[in-house]
Amino acid sequence: MRLDRHLITVILSGLLLGFFGVMLSVWGNPENSGICVSCFIENSAGALGLHNNPRLQYLRPELVGFVLGAFASALYRREFRSRGGSAPLFRFASGFFLIIGCAVFIGCPIKLFLRFTAGDLTSLSGVAGLVVGVGCGLNGLAKGVELGRLSPAAAPRGSGLLAPAAFLLFLLFIFISPSFLIASEKGSSSQHAPLLISLAVGLTLGFVAQGSRFCITGSIRDILLMGRRAPLLWGGIAFLATALLVNFSTGRFNPGFAGQPGSHQEYIWSFLGMGLVGWLSVLIGGCPFRQLVKSGEGDSDAALVVAGMFLGGALVQGWNIAATSAGVPLGGKIAVISGFLLVFSGSILLRERE
Amino acid sequence: MKLDRFDKILLSFLAITVIALGVYSARSFPAKTTAIETRSMERELAAQARVGLIEKLYAPVTGAMRGGQYQEALLKLEEVNTRYPGEAHGFILKGEILYRMGVPDGAASGFVRGIKLNGDYIDKNSPFSKRDIIAILVEKALPSALTAYKSSRSNPVLKENLANLNYLKSRLAGGCE
Report yes or no: B159 at the A interface, CB cutoff 8 Å.
no
A79 vs A77: CA distance, rounded Å: 5
Residues 84-113 of A with CB under 8 A from B: 106-107
- Domain B39-173 fold is 1.25.40
pLDDT of residue B21: 87
Summarize pLDDT for B49-101 with one digit per residue, the tens.
988 999 999 999 999 999 999 999 999 999 999 998 889 999 999 999 999 99
The domain limits of chain B are: 39-173
Which amino acid belongs to residue B148? A
Residues A262, B169: C-beta atoms closer than 8 Å: no
pLDDT of residue A154: 67
B136 vs A25: CA distance, rounded Å: 24
Range of the domain at A225: 5-350
From chain A, the residues in CB contact with B46 under 8 A are: none
* A to B CB pairs, distance under 8 Å: 84
A288 vs A286: CA distance, rounded Å: 7
pLDDT of residue A295: 97
Instruction: Work out the minimum CA distance from A173 to partner chain B, whole angstroms.
Output: 12
Report yes or no: A39 at the B interface, CB cutoff 8 Å.
yes
Instruction: Work out the minimum CA distance from A265 to partner chain B, whole angstroms.
Output: 10
Instruction: Work out the minimum CA distance from B162 to partner chain A, whole angstroms.
Output: 10
The alpha-helical segments, DSSP class H, found in chain A are 5-26, 37-47, 61-76, 88-105, 109-117, 123-142, 162-176, 195-212, 216-226, 231-249, 267-284, 288-296, 300-318, 330-350
Q: Which residues of A132-163 are buried (b: 16+ CB within 10 A; e: fewer)?
A: bbbbbbbebbeeebebeebeeebbeeebbbeb
Q: Do the Cβ atoms of B164 and B112 come closer than 8 Å?
A: yes
Secondary structure (3-state) at A163:
helix
A321 vs A335: CA distance, rounded Å: 7
pLDDT of residue B40: 72
Measured between CA atoms, the residue of chain B closest to residue A120 is B170
Residues A33, B175: C-beta atoms closer than 8 Å: yes
ipTM of the complex model: 0.83
List C-alpha distances in Å: A169 to A6, A193, A314.
Answer: 32, 21, 19
Parts of chain B with a pLDDT under 50:
none
Report yes or no: A184 at the B interface, CB cutoff 8 Å.
no
Parts of chain A with a pLDDT under 50:
none
From chain A, the residues in CB contact with B10 under 8 A are: none
pLDDT of residue B45: 87
pLDDT of residue A25: 97
pLDDT of residue A3: 77
A298 vs A147: CA distance, rounded Å: 18
User: Which of B43, B167, B175 lies at the smallest CB-CB distance from A188?
Assistant: B175
